[in-house]
Structures are given as structure tokens and as C-alpha cells.
Structure 1
């Protein structure tokens, strides 16, 4: 069993997840880059190792409880434990609700909400057994205030926030912290795939800091909640939105 803290990060192959993985590696954590895209995951691990960090990849489809169980068993065999869980894997499609279709709803809920439920179901018992754990779920301000064109995504992320608050209450007896980070619009590959230049410029004008978040901005908030500095913080949702929402 490694003496370093071990962080299991879903969707860590690119974007916010990759930035979180690299940031936590810089805090001397061993990193599990869990992603359905093994090529992207390998690239994140390469970046961490090139900087002197320790990381491995595991293929993980968070929509499948069986696949999550398999991935976690591989991590247990390698590291012997998981200390930090970051549920970052996510997906969305921007469109008016009445033009959206059931297959889109199912995919959004399966990845964003059920994925978080699956990993918590499998990993929390490991944390309880080891007497230590920090869970950081990546939500969204869409789950707090709504977002036009993201009705089901907002519902899923709102579910993540409510789920996290309940888990925080249930896990407090084990001294396990459960919190959310809620990013605002963030300059990621997924964002670029979904949003045209006109909407991007409109968002930049609406954000008090006049720019989109960078993945590293989100990673810094996660690193705080994963650190010993946040030992007395649980059940909270930290918005990282450049002031776009102030709630």
C-alpha cells in the first residue's frame, strides 16, 4: 500500500479532469486517471510522469456499475487504497428541452448523475475501511440556478448537489468529507464542441472577470477540498464561475 494519498479521478483524460489530475499530482498524490478514452488517459499520465509524479490509467465507463467495480479492483491491486474521489466525468448537449429526445436525457443522467452514484457506491466502503476519505463531485452552477438549453443537465447536476449533501451527512460519522465544485463556463474541448463563437463572446461579457474559466481554475478549488486545509468542510458547493453566479 502506497504511503501517498491516492486520488481516483473520472473523466481525467482531458479538460477539467486532466487539469485536476495534474494539480493533485503536484500535491504529491498518486493519481488514477479513470477515463473511457484510454488514449486521452495515457496522455494525462504521461504529463504527470514527465513532471516527476506517479499515475496510472484505468478504463472506466461510469455509466456501468460493473465496469466501475472492475476498475476499482484494479486500483486496489495496484495501490491498496483510494483516499480521494473526484467525480468529474460529464457530458451535455445544449438544446431547448422541447427539442431534446429521450436518448439524450438518458445519456446525460447516466454519465452526470448515475456515474457519480456508481463510484461513490464502490469507493466509499474502501474509504470507511481505511478511516480516511475526501469526495469532490464536479457539479455545475446549472444545477443551482438553471441554464437555458440545459434542462436535463441542470436536473442531473442538481441531483449531484443534493446527493452530495446527503452523503456528507451520512459519511460524517466516518470523518469522510463530501463536497461539490460547481464550475461556470469553462474553456474545455467539450465546451468548444457545444458552443459557437457568438455564445462564447456573450458569456465572456456576462462574466464579471470577462473571461471563461480555465481548467486550472477549477483544479485549484478541487485541490483545496482534497487537502487537509478542508478537513472541517463538508456538504458544501463551491462555485468557480468568475462571479457569473453569486449565491
Structure 2
């Protein structure tokens, strides 16, 4: 089993969905966890308590707005004082579907800021320290939409394609840092397909409405278009993959984008 005792992990967007699943997996391996999200105090406390119960020796919560670089800088500085970030999981993301001609400019900017620019800022702050210590893991939660396009998702696809490119560049720049025994410094993307999270609910609801409100039929119809397995993924499956990437045994897995998409991008 992966042992992350003594490591500190920051997981953005970790109060629900994939981010929470990743935080659970890392906590179970003994990592200190920095949670993040735009959540009220009660939700933050509940999630922090859950992550502590799963095995994290220490937990902190950050409510940083990732659209503001100065606030990201403060969060990363606070984290450096608490415990240098060894594992960085950029998961926070927002989405809005609309045709290119109708996409509001402010929506374009917000999606790029949260889904792409925030990852640049956190990586820029955390990765030099990872190199100095000889171990570091960046796991960026991209999407199949970082590998293939879909209509009505211009800013989301642009951000996710950009995240894949950013990750590859960082992987090359840090590939020779560290040694095999410590695990080195790696940067990878996970590209989920249809996964049971809140971000896909508007699309599920719209498709279910075409079938008399039947959610199961709506999901089946949605998956039939693109995901050959016709099965959704559970967030815990993404968490398990992220945990494996953090193991020192994965020291030579870097610069990759691993789809979890039921064959979507194999077509």
C-alpha cells in the first residue's frame, strides 16, 4: 500500500466529487491534507472531520477564490509555513455550456482562470520546493475534453487542452529532479469521462427531460453517444488512480494524460 506519511497534499475543489474522493484516498495513506473549496463553515468542518477520521494526521481548509492570483499566492505562502506541499492535485473546475456565439465573455474568463490559470499559479509556487526535496507529485484533473472537443464547451475545452499542455511542459522541466528511491518529481493528468459528479448534473437533467424525467434513461442516452462502456465512473476510482501516481513506484510516469473514459478517446 502507498504510504504518504510525512507528506502534505493540497487538493483544490475538494469538498465534493472527484476532489473529495482524491482527498479521501490520500488521507487514507497518511498524508496531511489541505482541503479547498468555496464552502460554508459547516460544510468545511464536516469534510475536515471526515478526512481526519480517514487517517490524515492534520487537516486545514482554504476557501480561496481561484479567480484571484493574489489570493492563491497567499494560500500557497500559508501552506509553505504549515508544511511544504509535496502533492498538488489541481481539481477545482467550473463549466458552462453554450454555443461559441452565445458564450459570455465573463464566463470564458472565469473558466480559464479557475480551470487553467489557477493550476499554473499553484504549480509555479509548489514545484521548486518539490525539486529541492527530491519528491513531488502534481496530478492535474483534466478531462476527455482536454483530448477531444465537444460542441458548446469552448472555454472548458480550451482550459482542459491547455492544462494538458501545461502539464507536459512542467513534466519535462522537472523530469530529472530527484532520485528513484525518493520518487522524483512527476506531473500527470487524469482525464475522466462521464463521472458521477455535480458538474454533469445540468447535462443529465437536460437529457432526462427528453425522456419524461427518467434520470437513468437520460444517463444511458448521454453515454451512448460517446462512452463505449456505457458506464459512468465513480469519483473513488479517480481517487485510487491519483493515489497510485503519488507512490514512489510511479517515478517514471510523467508527462502523461491517463483517460478514465470507457473507451471514449480510443475511438
TM-score by structure 2 length?
A: 0.85
**Number of the residue aligned with 1:192:** 201
Q: Which runs of 5+ in 1 are unaligned?
A: none
RMSD: 1.9
1: CA distance, partners of 2:174 / 2:44: 30
Residue 136 of structure 1 aligns to a residue in which SS? strand
> Is residue 2:262 matched to residue 1:242?
yes
Q: What's the CA shift for 1:146?
A: 0.6
Measured against aligned partners, the alpha-carbon deviations of 1:196-232 in whole angstroms (never above 9, x if no partner) come to: 2435332233433322111112112211211122111
The within-5 A match list for 1:25-174 is 25-39=27-41, 40-54=43-57, 55-78=59-82, 80-174=83-177
1: CA distance, partners of 2:239 / 2:222: 21
The farther-off stretch of 189-198 and 224-233 is 189-198
CA contact (8 A) 1:59 1:71 kept: no
Q: Which runs of 5+ in 2 are unaligned?
A: 178-183, 209-217
Residue 245 of structure 1 aligns to a residue in which SS? helix
**Number of the residue aligned with 2:221:** 202
CA contact (8 A) 2:27 2:52 kept: no
2: CA distance, partners of 1:193 / 1:126: 40
TM-score by structure 1 length?
A: 0.92
Q: What's the CA shift for 1:46?
A: 1.5
CA contact (8 A) 1:10 1:60 kept: no
2: CA distance, partners of 1:38 / 1:24: 23
Greater gyration radius: 2
2: CA distance, partners of 1:223 / 1:38: 27
Q: What's the CA shift for 1:73?
A: 2.2
